[in-house]
Structure 1
Amino acid sequence: MSSIHEDLRRVAIHDRDFQKTSVDKRIYCVPVDEREEDRLTTQHDVLFRYFGHRLFFANIESPSKILECGYGRGDWVVAVAEEFEDCEVTGVDIYPILITDQPDNLNLFGYNLNDRLNHPEVFERNAYDLIHSRFVGPGIKTSRWSGYVRDMKALLRPNGWLEMVEYYPNIQSDRGLLSSQSALRRWYETYVSAMERSNRNPRIGQRLQHLMADAGLREVGGSVFHLPIGGWDTDPIKASIGRDNLAMIEELLDSLAIWSFTEKLGWTMAQVEALTNAARAEAQDVSLRLYIPV
């Protein structure tokens, strides 16, 4: 799969729907069904609230062009298009989901981010005020990351901004209560093994600043946010966010494991379910005060 496409064909794998071509070509092997769409919407809502109801951190008041790489369910890209009605907004994703009531200033394309970001019908060099890339790690080859960031830099206008967000999926305890034998730790180590066999870097979030600096971007900065899992925080706002995030994380543990654990590690679904169910049960334990680094 390369360049522009409108491939929405699905294939059922262990009772979940995946994009057929994406699985066949080993691009983005995560479900694309309604259950996953609901997870993506919750994920967007959780981050939007945690980030203080900000869609981005860059100081941009009147953008003329914005690009999102990996628009997923479309929640972020639609919100940006609605907030900046005079801005031309473009979203690209390996699975180009159709969006009801799509804003007139929003254009969506199916695109494989492992390809160069240079298709003239989609991208414009030196043009974008903001490029937003979020949670595309499972779909990008390890060797592609440097080129991916360089490609985005080439699309930015002078003084434009690039914002990137990725999980570090090693869920932590605020009280240091997770041992090497905990279900969440075992899930993470299994996921790392599966992703490395898939030519993916599950720790890529830790290298984003380095990649940006190497690409020649200026004023590079970054932050690690501890997104709470469960309602343990004494701050009622963060507790509410944490409760919603728990529901999202429970789904994430399943979505990321189904294909990778069975196809790359040879696990049975019974083995996958046993570990993910144990990890979910652990995630529900508020006494652990869990969070996921973002």
Structure 2
Amino acid sequence: MCIECVLPELVNLTPHDHDRFYRLVGGRRCNNLNHNYVMPADEDELRRFELFHRMIRFVFGNKVYVGPVETVLSPERDTGGEKLRVLDMGTGGGLWAVDMADEFPHVEVTGVDLAPLQPRMVPSNCTFELCDLDARCLPYPSNSYDVVHARNMHSGIKNYPHFLHELTRILRPGGVLILIEFDLRPIADGKVTSADAKTGIPGWCALAEKIQHALTLSGVDVTVPGRMGELVHDLGWYDQVFQQHADIPVGFWPKDPTLLTVGQLAWMESDLLILALRPLLLSSGLSEKEVKVLTEAAQRDLYFPLVHIENRLHVVHAIKSV
């Protein structure tokens, strides 16, 4: 199901619109197009998206992308007369799409998501659509976009290799695919945690384990973030595939000013994330009491950490064969 929308302000949506696009899960508003993705679609989640987006800008050196995007989107690039186009999958609040539209005013930018959370006042070259991106066949023509971007998507996709196949089909030869996902295993004092390790952040790690369990129950492969480069390479359509990772500090412990800013943003984003996970955890069969205990233990580790907490961010960019 894909619906092209002229999106109103959220406050102007009618009750009928809310019934159509949203449902309540565990007291939070969630999307109604894909019940496999049980994360909120509300104002608190928009704040979390904004914090994450600001953090990414610092990590990427005041950019929102990696790879030869400026070259691919150059007005001088020969596209056979076709308009240069960018597709942002899982656009959320639309911040990435709007930033790209501002930076490349000659490019058509389309953001796609499960819920109408995006702003109404956007650049004239930016539009938004609603679509279930876990569908078997995405409703976009083959070889039609020069940059395809998918960030924080894998937890709503049951068959990620097929999703990558669809993104590759949509991407033009010579175009850039960008994938960004967090590893689901926390890092304590520089070491990736395991279930039986003494980490100093037991509540944080217990929550991470329950997240992985809940996603696995819903059919999601939790190993995807660390294997994205391999999965893209296996498609056989890319001459160049680059995977890198960055360990993102969470908290106020870094000495470097830039890393300190990243850590502060990541801390605030994590504080909202703990509460945003409630619908997912409840949907996995946990009781209200169990979710409360998990949440409070994770919050204690976040507020009063005994170790340095980090999260690993996996970033892939690949150039489709010409």
CA–CA separation in structure 1 for the residues paired with 2:295 and 2:102: 38
Worse overlay, 11-20 or 175-184: 175-184
Cα distance, 1:131–1:21 mapped onto 2, change above 3 Å: closer
Contact map agreement 1:231 1:286 (CA 8 A) in 2? no
Indicate yes or no: 2:119 matched with 1:99: yes
Correspondences of 1:243-258 after superposition (within 5 Å): 243-256=264-277, 258=278
Q: Distance in 1 between matches of 2:305 and 2:293?
A: 21
1:112-144 alpha-carbon deviations (Å, 9 max, x no partner): 11124542xxx2322322111000122111xx2
- What amino acid does structure 1 have at the position aligned with 2:41? V
2:217 corresponds to: 197
Q: SS where residue 114 of structure 1 aligns?
A: coil
The answer for the alignment partner of 1:277 in structure 2 is 296
TM-score w.r.t. the length of structure 2 is 0.82
Deviations 1:66-115 (A, max 9, x none): 11111001111110011101101111111232413121111211111112
Using the TM superposition, name which of 68-77 and 4-13 deviates more: 4-13
TM-fit CA distance, 1:231 = 1.4
1:254 maps to a residue whose letter is: L
Q: Does the CA contact (< 8 Å) of 2:86 and 2:108 recur in 1?
A: yes
Q: Equivalent residues in 2 for 1:38-117 (5 A)?
A: 38-61=47-70, 63=73, 64-117=84-137
Looking at structure 2, the residues matched to 189 and 98 of structure 1 have their Cα atoms a distance apart, in angstroms, of 31
- 1:224 aligned counterpart, secondary structure: strand
Displacement, 1:148? 1.0
Partner of 2:244, secondary structure, is coil
Percentage identity across aligned positions?
A: 25
TM alignment of 1:13-32, pairs within 5 A = 13-22=25-34, 26-32=35-41
Q: Which has the larger displacement, 239-248 or 267-276?
A: 267-276
1:125-140 matches, within 5 Å, as: 125-140=142-157
State the alpha-carbon separation in 2 of the partners of residues 27 and 4 from structure 1. 19
Deviation per residue, 1:135-177 (Å, 9 max, x gap): 0122111xx2111111111222221110101111211112559
8 A contact 2:250–2:311 mirrored in 1 = yes
Structure with the bigger RCO (C-alpha within 8 Å, sep 6+) is 2
Offset, 1:49: 1.1
The superposition leaves residues 270-291 of structure 1 with CA deviations (integer Å, 9 ceiling, x where unpaired) of 3212211211221234551111
The Cα of 1:240 is off from its aligned counterpart by 1.7
- Cα displacement (A) at 1:244: 1.6
Structure 1 residue 21 displacement after superposition: 4.2
- Asked if the contact 1:167/1:293 (under 8 Å) is kept, the reply is yes
Residues 232, 286 of structure 1: 8 Å contact kept: no
Distance (Å, rounded) in 2 between the aligned partners of 1:61 and 1:11: 39
Q: For 1:175 and 1:138, how far apart are their aligned partners in 2?
A: 25
1:157 corresponds in structure 2 to 172
Structure 1 segments of 4 or more deviating over 6 A? none
Task: Spell out the pairing of 1:177-192 with structure 2 (5 A cutoff).
Answer: 179=198, 182-192=202-212
Structure 1 unpaired stretches of 5+: none
Number of residue pairs the alignment of both structures matches:
283
C-alpha distance in structure 1 between counterparts of 2:125 and 2:136, whole Å: 24
Residue 288, structure 1, aligned to residue 307, structure 2: yes
* Correspondence 1:170 to 2:185: yes
Task: Give the root-mean-square deviation of aligned CA atoms.
Answer: 2.0
Structure 2 runs not aligned, ≥5 long: 6-16, 74-83, 314-322
Greater Cα shift, 271-280 or 162-171: 271-280
Q: C-alpha separation between the residues in 1 aligned to 2:154 and 2:210?
A: 16
